[in-house]
Amino acid sequence: MVKNLKDLKVVYMGTPNFSVPTLEMLIEETNVIGVVTQEDKEVGRKRVLTPSPVKECALKHNIKVLTPHKIREEYQDIIDLDPDIIITCAYGQIVPKELLDFPYYGCINIHGSILPEYRGASPIQSAIMNGDTETGITIMYMDEQMDTGNIINMDKIDIDITDTYGTLSDKLSIVGKNLLLKTLPKIIADDNWNIKQDDGAATYTKKITREQERLDFSKTKKEVYDYIRALNPSPLANILLNGEEIKIVEARLGADKTGEIGVITAVNKDSFSIQCSDGLIDVTMIKRAGKNIMDVKSFLNGYNKDNLINKKVNNEE
């Protein structure tokens, strides 16, 4: 047992930017003895081998970094660090039972939803896609299943109508950091919640696939708008226009009207409008293959408007 946070030996497991604020807090408030993250990945058109944001943060603070290819098989180095607690936050692999059972204070996870809603790989995107008005962070004990462990603590925030996956992730990363800081002393004192989840109320999410990035205009304009927000800044929703895949970065809700679904019905100074089931979605910012993100006003300066108006998008012919 430890008496204060500074004596708590922590192994932290995380990968994306979302995980960095919590790591920075733990470095300041506890004794982080090791970081586990995903292997370096090739990034960009030049395929530059790039470390994860969590690895970059750990190395900046001279903390030992482990990057097991398959943690189910390569976990002994983590056990050898002898952590008091293992904390995971968007790590990206399933932690084996041998690790779950090792630390005195157990293994805990910081998850981007109010469990048992949105278990799985894309909770933040799913909340935006579904038009939810609130979400939050759940801290839970980990078990062998995906996000099914007992709840330790949680905190909720509102989802703004303009929030994207990027902005909401940034907000939730701060919520998670602050909630963990409040929760760790309670874990040490064995004075925290340990509430079993209601499996009957659980909903599940999966990783967004390449096929799911294509917009479906048979949905309402609000559903299409929410979908665009949910995939911004990555991987970005897309349409097929005149045989070219164009990523949709930003849009706004357009007029209420009916018409042929998926047809570009208007070209304006700063947008073009696509018919959804109940009205228009006005596309205002795009990204073409191999190009930088641009506003539609700039796009229209170099594009024949006749190739837009009355064209049906996502037409494979």
pLDDT in tens, 191-247: 999 999 999 999 999 999 999 999 999 999 999 999 999 999 999 999 999 999 999
DSSP state of 170: H
Sketch out the chain's domains with CATH numbers: 5-205 (3.40.50.170), 211-307 (3.10.25.10)
Cα separation of the two ends of the chain? 67
Query: Would you state the pLDDT for residue 317?
Result: 58
Structure tokens at 294: 């641009």
What is the radius of gyration, based on Cα positions, of the chain?
22
Which of 182, 186, 188 is closest to 25 using CA atoms?
A: 182
What are the strands, taking DSSP E only, across 90-236?
107-111, 119-120, 134-141, 151-158, 204-205
pLDDT of residue 316: 67
Q: Which residue has the tokens 């994306």?
A: 16
Cα distance between residue 151 and residue 240, in whole Å: 43
**Angle of CA points 58, 62, 67, to nearest 5°:** 50
- What confidence score (pLDDT) does residue 17 get? 96
The pLDDT of residue 161 is: 97
> pLDDT under 70 in the chain at which residues?
316-317
The predicted pLDDT at position 306 comes to 84
